[in-house]
Amino acid sequence: VVFQVLPKILNLHGINNNNQEEPPYLQQQNACQRITNADMLSLTSLPPGMDRAEWLASNTVAFFKHINLFSSALSDFCTPSTCPTSCGPGNTIYFWTDDHGRKLKCSAPLYVDYAMSYIQDLLTDEDVFPTKAGVAFPTGFFFLVQKVFLLLFRTLAHIYWSHYSEVLLVGLHPHLNTLFSHLLLFCRQHSLLEPEDTKPLQDLITALERHG
């Protein structure tokens, strides 16, 4: 319900944190906020007896649904005019790589649309994410999962950098922090992201760790 009414109760444009001394997501009163004190380690660790590929697949679907919902709620504020470049903290620019290996510089909404469409196509491809019992996951499945989580991480990085003001005003920062923390710990548990991938949000990662 909160996501559905977000565009109605805000009359703002995308605001990045370029000119602020300290990004608001690093401020103590914001970084310490969560929606749950659940043991994230138990939520991310591979359950005993479960196939690792199955565990990765089910979590990939879940994270995609949550992050796609969150980014969709902010779509009215993430437009080609407010976000002409897909960027993250420190003005890190995210280029989209097309099917021919060409790097394309595009607006943030276009980048997110490319990313979500790419992930959706993977998740609905039975040759990649099989849903029938006894069907094996393909060779290269882990590499594809890594790519999915890189795209999801970049989507959250853009939200933190360019749309945290909107998130903060409607009180969704505890949800965002919890979602990001969960994703980060899952990626660490299963070696899905490289340090270079997460570097743009390292200051936030450090702040979240400091607050438990």
Global pTM value: 0.89
Dihedrals φ, ψ of 15, to 5°?
A: -125, 120
The CA distance from 68 to 4, in Å, is 13
Tokens of 81: 């005019």
Q: What is the DSSP letter of 104?
A: E
Is residue 158 part of an annotated ligand binding site?
Answer: yes
Q: Evaluate if residue 11 carries a pLDDT over 60.
A: no
Give the start-to-end residue ranges of the domains of the chain. Answer: 50-211
Is residue 32 part of an annotated ligand binding site?
Answer: no
CATH superfamily of the 50-211 domain = MOB kinase activator (1.20.140.30)
pLDDT tens string 128-166: 999 998 899 999 999 999 999 999 999 999 999 999 999
Is residue 87 part of an annotated ligand binding site?
Answer: no
